[in-house]
Structure 1
Amino acid sequence: MKIKILVLFFIAAAACAFQRPAAPRLHTIQTGSAQALKAFLKYTPDRLPFICAHRGGPRKGFPENCIPTFENTLAHNPAMLEIDPRYTKDGHIVLMHDPTLDRTTNGQGKVSDHTLAELRQLRLKDTEGHLTDYTIPTLDEALEWAKGKTVLVIDAKDVPVEARAKKVLEHGAQANAIVIAYSIDDIKKCYQVSSDIVMEVMTGKMAHVKQLDESGVPWENIIGFVSHELSPDSAIFREVHQRGSMCILGSSRNYDRQFTSGKITAEALEKGYLSLISYGADVIEADLSIESGAALKPLQTAASSKSKFFRY
């Protein structure tokens, strides 16, 4: 009798395992060390343009700054993932763009007025405002998840650059995370924490480029964010490329916004993304990560020294 019960138990367990949805296959960026990440982000004429998904690539059914959303983005195309850290009341760091909970969760009030345990009870909303079953992740969880999958781009919000850099070191994630630094002082502080950490830095003006030249921080530690605006100065791209760094252009405030508001067609959106590459961009930071990734996909079939970093 006991044997029969055990057999039935194992059959039921096997059936449940068989019915469980399989983990999605992901397009990954394979940078196994800090030096490999620097090599991946180094500008070369044969670079393969790719995207950085703003807030991780949210859309209907998938909230911003959410690990299942990250996986949905990577299920469609390779991407870096821009994320937003904020402190909780008890000193943990969670992923949340706004200082308040109201827009993106079923909670209310400031993130900083709640403990991590309290925030864990909340659920996230998608881009349509619909409540999902997903919960707020911590930066620790995101850094561990990203290993072997992608590169996280960690914005500032209310977390100082030194604290973000130290989190990267704590998790041994120098190969899978970069931090955004908004000032020369922050750039120097981050470099002092670790010369292994790559930073996304504003390079929209020649004055920014010259400041970086004089900062003492090597350009191999830099990827430049040029602009959210259209028709940026092409000379900036040449200058940054000559120093060996890639350039990022944002589409969230131009083509993405025009498309979601119904002002342009899907065909015009695709042409818009390609025009950003023709300006000189190597990476597009996009709200519409799946659409932008699809537009760039034909460009990623070229023979390139960067191909080894992309896997499916």
Structure 2
Amino acid sequence: MNSVNAQVSIVAHRGGLYFQYPESSMTLFNSTASSFAADTVVIEIDIRKSKDGTLYLMHDPSIDRTTNGEGQLADLGDGYLNSLRLKTKDGTITSDHIPTFNEVLTFIGNRNINLMLDIKAPVHKEVLEQVKKHKLENRMLVLTFQNEVTAQVAKISQNVLLSALIETDEAWKSFEQIPVHNGRRIAYVTTKTPAKLITALLQKNVLIMADVSEDIRSGGKPLHADAYRSKVNAQKLDILISDFPIEARDALRPEK
């Protein structure tokens, strides 16, 4: 995945936490990508399946928080879902609809956008089949948090980047046993991950990724530029997930 410099790729969590736009909306994705200009941004998206079998972008099981509708997405038909509009965080109803996964894959085709896939329902095979159809496997990073899911994704595709939560030596040993092509394995680390383990992973050509979570850890505001740089340096990160990707990108740009 290309990055804003030779060291760190920036991931926009749900497209970014910019209050004038609804989360996970096409308008937000376009704005964030435009702000990155020639740089490549990775956009994190959450995927669920409707009652009719269509893959939509939705973080919560329910559509109540982010749309002007009600109900569990898995129980709702496409006709109803397509009639709804997304809301901003303050509840303002916008003209944005709920994007389908296929729509997003088409959207990123000729743009400097890669995707991080957080697949909320057990539909990994269906998701990756769509990715293959669009010939975009080399631009996907798949998040996994359970060993059996990690193994399943690895079996479906060896061309995507594959991440697993690594906080202990035992978690790494489990991940290491799953066949993954060299350079395609990502360790999602936290403050619990020992520095010694991170160093060992880097020696094994494993990419290191962590999140900032400014929405819950920084009062919904971007960090000071030095804080982004300190986190990257402290955990030796290759990939940084941020609620404020534009600010994180600016903080990590090489000084001229």
Say whether the fold is shared (TM-score over 0.5). yes
Task: Give the drift of 1:256.
Answer: 4.4
Take 1:224 and 1:183, find their aligned partners in 2: how far apart are those partners?
13
Amino acid at match of 1:108: E
Take 1:179 and 1:283, find their aligned partners in 2: how far apart are those partners?
13
1:296 aligned to which of 245, 252, 256: 252
Amino acid at match of 1:238: T
2:72 aligned to which of 107, 110, 113: 110
Task: Give the drift of 1:204.
Answer: 2.4
Partner of 1:184 in structure 2?
Answer: 147
* 8 Å Cα contact 2:154/2:179 also seen in 1: no
Take 1:226 and 1:238, find their aligned partners in 2: how far apart are those partners?
12
1:51 aligned to 2:10?
yes
* 8 Å Cα contact 2:229/2:251 also seen in 1: yes
1:236 aligned to 2:197?
yes
Take 2:177 and 2:115, find their aligned partners in 1: how far apart are those partners?
27
Aligned runs of 1:49-128 on 2, under 5 Å?
Answer: 49-77=8-36, 78-128=40-90
Amino acid at match of 2:244: L
* 8 Å Cα contact 2:138/2:161 also seen in 1: no
Take 1:154 and 1:258, find their aligned partners in 2: how far apart are those partners?
23
Amino acid at match of 2:245: S
Task: Give the drift of 1:151.
Answer: 1.1
Q: TM-score, normalised by structure 1?
A: 0.73
* 8 Å Cα contact 2:164/2:175 also seen in 1: no
Task: Give the drift of 1:232.
Answer: 4.5
Take 2:212 and 2:29, find their aligned partners in 1: how far apart are those partners?
19
Task: Give the drift of 1:144.
Answer: 1.7
Partner of 1:273 in structure 2?
Answer: 228
Q: Say which SS state the counterpart of residue 189 (structure 2) adopts.
A: strand
Task: Give the drift of 1:275.
Answer: 1.3
Task: Give the drift of 1:94.
Answer: 0.4
Task: Give the drift of 1:175.
Answer: 2.3
Amino acid at match of 1:284: L
1:157 aligned to 2:120?
yes
Task: Give the drift of 1:59.
Answer: 1.4
Take 1:236 and 1:76, find their aligned partners in 2: how far apart are those partners?
35
Amino acid at match of 2:230: S
Task: Give the drift of 1:288.
Answer: 1.7
Task: Give the drift of 1:261.
Answer: 5.5
Take 1:282 and 1:137, find their aligned partners in 2: how far apart are those partners?
29
1:260 aligned to which of 178, 199, 219: 219
User: Residues 186 and 259 from structure 1, CA distance in 2 versus in 1: closer, same or farther, beyond 3 angstroms?
Assistant: closer
User: Residues 185 and 196 from structure 1, CA distance in 2 versus in 1: closer, same or farther, beyond 3 angstroms?
Assistant: same
Q: TM-score, normalised by structure 2?
A: 0.88
* 8 Å Cα contact 1:53/1:285 also seen in 2: yes
* 8 Å Cα contact 2:183/2:207 also seen in 1: no
Task: Give the drift of 1:111.
Answer: 1.0
Q: Which residues of structure 1 form unaligned runs of 5+?
A: 1-36, 302-312
Identity of aligned residues (%): 26
Q: Say which SS state the counterpart of residue 14 (structure 2) adopts.
A: helix
Aligned runs of 1:18-29 on 2, under 5 Å?
Answer: none
Task: Give the drift of 1:290.
Answer: 2.1
Take 1:295 and 1:285, find their aligned partners in 2: how far apart are those partners?
13
Take 2:220 and 2:104, find their aligned partners in 1: how far apart are those partners?
31
Take 1:95 and 1:292, find their aligned partners in 2: how far apart are those partners?
24
Q: Say which SS state the counterpart of residue 138 (structure 2) adopts.
A: coil
Task: Give the drift of 1:184.
Answer: 2.7
Task: Give the drift of 1:141.
Answer: 0.8
Cα RMSD (Å)? 2.2
Take 1:105 and 1:115, find their aligned partners in 2: how far apart are those partners?
15
Take 2:91 and 2:122, find their aligned partners in 1: how far apart are those partners?
27
Q: Say which SS state the counterpart of residue 251 (structure 2) adopts.
A: helix
Q: Which residues of structure 2 form unaligned runs of 5+?
A: none
Take 1:180 and 1:116, find their aligned partners in 2: how far apart are those partners?
26
Task: Give the drift of 1:176.
Answer: 2.1
Take 2:242 and 2:224, find their aligned partners in 1: how far apart are those partners?
11
Take 2:215 and 2:73, find their aligned partners in 1: how far apart are those partners?
28
* 8 Å Cα contact 2:17/2:243 also seen in 1: yes
Q: Say which SS state the counterpart of residue 224 (structure 2) adopts.
A: helix
Take 2:84 and 2:253, find their aligned partners in 1: how far apart are those partners?
36
